[in-house]
């Protein structure tokens, strides 16, 4: 998934900056530290002069410090965050980040939401960013604290989530000596971040923070890491807040306005098409209004990826819901039979395409994406536009509107839509109706009904994730939070924390599985202490459900360590999730019968503050439809479960 250009208010590239020099990975070489004290005196004097000159024209910022008052590097770092508009961070302290936390206590603008594990912190920062569109910020100490961020950084990289991660580091003189709690986190994370920095000069902090937020939110968003040695945090300095961004190579590669001739070609292809379909991904989340207008003008049916859910309302008649491995039959049918595939903000992921050669094999393909690296990477398009999708869709809509309705009147896809409606009637999303047992799909349908489809939903990874994608009817972008590319179990609860912090007053529900939930169960303490009204709908089947499904289908139901209960007492629910909640002072209940489910979910929603509802569901249920890995539409499975042999 490649996202459109973020519309965040935090940083803008100065229009009249001096000719920039090449930016190295690190802000200063180690060899230059010997004359540091002499050079600092000159820089401090220059900073004072620059500050005086800029004070008259710059927008006033209420700093805690006097204009020329020296302050610690940690205080400069925190004020740099304040100047970016940061109001919430997810930070877990340690020895190498202690100064940063001390500085946070001196800030009246930034609230720290204390996670109980650094992975919980980075996933919470992701939930904050995914649900709000603003960059999330997490902070960890050096060594194991920093390495605990790795899964979250990789997740943000794959799903194009704007994130700024700050780590403490051992003092500069100790780097490379295998000091206590030292890890080279810049090297560890180089391939899973959009960019990263090791700060070696306290005077670089304002520029580095400014660049980090610009990088995280511009172009295709992603995570940026800033590693700050402890002695830099402790060093006194007078900051120069007027340093310009120095990223000439990066800014030169940012996409320009879309080529008008290419947009006209897209319109011509659409006019010539009989069976077009939209294939929309996470890159459409910032372009939802333009996407809806395009569908209003053209009537083209919309199939969404897992990451794109909500960009177009699931309940609309033009929606085909999700495509791909566990997508609807009619969405995958549409892609298989279409003559024009409009791929907007997508990356042709293997869980969508299956066998690449057979994917949309009858269609001309138009690929619009902000990341040039994604165009032609997996599937070669006939027409490609590397641009901000919001601008490209806006331009296409204007072309359609400027034709005075002539072009729009030619777009008559009623026969194509009726063909797809027939597929909807023949292959609706469905599930077995059990007598007393609770179908997990039914639980999500009841939640959708009782929340009127308005909740912000996070998930872990597995069967419950796919059912939440299939059976909750998302109305708007940033309502659906899930780990798509990385598929990180344990994501749901901390992501819900971030969403609740970013969206006070919203209904936030973590639809989770017992396997995913227990991976970050410690974050129950966070939602209790921070008084976050996170609701947890736990679909508990005592198994790693998705792996069990593959065991059923492809391994003759041989269980290979996928049972999560107590083998010595298989009739008991183990572990008792209610006791985890009770240990943290969170109200909880368990429901085992279908007739009790609706009332139990309503009570969960009506109870102030956090709540855990443990819903016991059968482990034999399978997520259907299913196209096996590297399969084609002809291989789709629509029937069966773990009660049968294969």
Q: Which residues are catalytic?
A: 118, 180-181, 230, 546
For residue 374, the 8-state DSSP code is G
> Contact 641/621 with Cβ under 8 angstroms?
yes
Q: How far is residue 83's CA from residue 453's CA, in Å, rounded to a whole number?
A: 36
Evaluate whether 574 touches 543 at the Cβ level (below 8 Å): no
- 3 state SS of 393: helix
Alpha helices by DSSP H, 481-576: 492-502, 514-517, 524-529, 545-554
Neighbouring residues of 201: CB distance < 8 A, sequence distance ≥ 6 = 27, 28, 36, 232
Question: Side-chain half-sphere of 638: how many Cα atoms within 13 Å?
Answer: 13
Residues in the chain: 646
What is the spatial order of strands in the sheet that 195-198 belongs to? 111-112, 88-91, 136-140, 163-169, 223-229, 195-198
- Concatenate the DSSP letters of all residues of 461-483 into one string: SSHHHHHHHHHS---STTSEE--
CA distance 69 to 47: 11
590 beta partners: 614
Pairing of strands 236-237, 71-72: antiparallel
Q: What are the distances in angstroms from CA 357 to CA 348, 354, 631?
A: 12, 9, 10
Whether 568 and 546 have beta carbons less than 8 Å apart is answered as no
DSSP state of 86: -
d(CA 478, CA 436): 35
């Amino acid at each position: 998934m490649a996202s459109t250009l973020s519309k965040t208010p935090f940083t803008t590239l100065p229009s009249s900056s001096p000719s920039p020099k090449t930016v190295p990975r690190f802000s200063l070489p180690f060899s230059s530290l010997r004359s540091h004290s002499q050079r600092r005196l000159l820089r401090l004097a220059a900073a004072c002069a620059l500050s005086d000159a800029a004070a008259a024209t710059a927008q006033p910022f209420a700093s805690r410090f006097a204009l020329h008052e020296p302050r610690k590097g940690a205080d400069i770092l925190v004020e740099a965050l304040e100047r970016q508009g940061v109001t919430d961070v997810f930070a877990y302290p340690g020895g190498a980040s202690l100064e940063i936390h001390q500085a946070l206590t001196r800030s009246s603008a930034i609230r720290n939401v204390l996670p109980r594990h650094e992975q919980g912190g980075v996933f919470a920062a992701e939930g904050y960013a995914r649900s709000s569109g603003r960059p999330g910020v997490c902070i960890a100490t050096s060594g194991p604290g920093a390495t605990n961020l790795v899964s979250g950084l990789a997740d943000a990289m794959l799903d194009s989530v704007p994130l700024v991660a700050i780590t403490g580091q051992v003092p500069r003189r100790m780097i490379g000596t295998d000091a206590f709690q030292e890890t080279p986190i810049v090297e560890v994370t180089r391939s899973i971040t959009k960019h990263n920095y090791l700060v070696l000069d306290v005077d670089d902090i304002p520029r580095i923070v400014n660049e980090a937020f610009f990088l995280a939110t511009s172009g295709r968003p992603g995570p940026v890491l800033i590693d700050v040695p402890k002695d830099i945090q402790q060093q006194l300095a007078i900051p120069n807040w007027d340093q310009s961004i120095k990223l000439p190579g990066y800014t030169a590669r940012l996409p320009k306005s879309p080529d008008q001739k290419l947009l006209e070609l897209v319109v011509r292809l659409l006019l010539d098409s009989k069976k077009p379909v939209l294939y929309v991904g996470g890159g459409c989340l910032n372009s939802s209004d333009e996407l809806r207008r395009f569908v209003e003008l053209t009537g083209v049916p919309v199939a969404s990826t897992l990451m794109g859910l909500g960009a177009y309302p699931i309940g609309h008649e033009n929606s085909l819901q999700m495509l791909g491995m566990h997508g609807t039959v009619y969405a995958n049918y549409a892609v298989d039979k279409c003559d024009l595939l409009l791929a907007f903000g997508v990356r042709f992921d293997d869980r969508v395409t299956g066998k690449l050669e057979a994917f949309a094999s009858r269609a001309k393909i138009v690929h619009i994406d902000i990341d040039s690296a994604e165009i032609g990477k997996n599937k070669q398009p006939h027409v490609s536009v590397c641009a901000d999708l919001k601008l490209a869709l806006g331009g296409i809509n204007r072309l359609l509107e400027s034709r005075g309705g002539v072009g729009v009147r030619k777009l008559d896809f009623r026969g194509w839509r009726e063909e797809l409606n027939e597929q909807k009637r023949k292959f609706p999303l469905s599930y077995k109706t059990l007598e007393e047992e609770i179908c997990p799909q039914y639980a999500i349908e009841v939640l959708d009904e009782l929340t009127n489809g308005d909740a912000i939903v996070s998930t872990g990874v597995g069967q419950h994730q796919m059912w939440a994608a299939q059976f909750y009817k998302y109305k708007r972008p940033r309502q659906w939070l899930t780990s798509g590319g990385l598929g990180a179990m344990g994501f749901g609860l901390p992501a819900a924390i971030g969403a609740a912090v970013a969206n006070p007053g919203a209904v936030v529900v973590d639809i989770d599985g017992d396997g995913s939930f227990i991976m970050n169960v410690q974050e129950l303490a966070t939602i209790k202490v921070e008084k976050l009204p996170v609701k947890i709908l736990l679909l508990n089947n005592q198994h790693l459900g998705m792996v069990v499904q593959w065991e059923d289908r492809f391994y003759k139901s041989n269980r290979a360590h996928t049972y999560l209960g107590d083998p010595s007492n298989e009739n008991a629910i183990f572990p008792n999730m209610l006791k985890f909640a009770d240990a943290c002072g969170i109200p909880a209940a368990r429901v085992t019968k279908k007739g009790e489910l609706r009332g139990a979910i309503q009570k969960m929603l009506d109870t102030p503050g956090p709540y855990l509802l443990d819903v016991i569901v059968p482990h034999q249920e399978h997520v259907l439809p299913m196209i096996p890995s590297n399969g084609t539409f002809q291989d789709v499975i629509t029937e069966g479960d773990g009660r049968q042999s294969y």
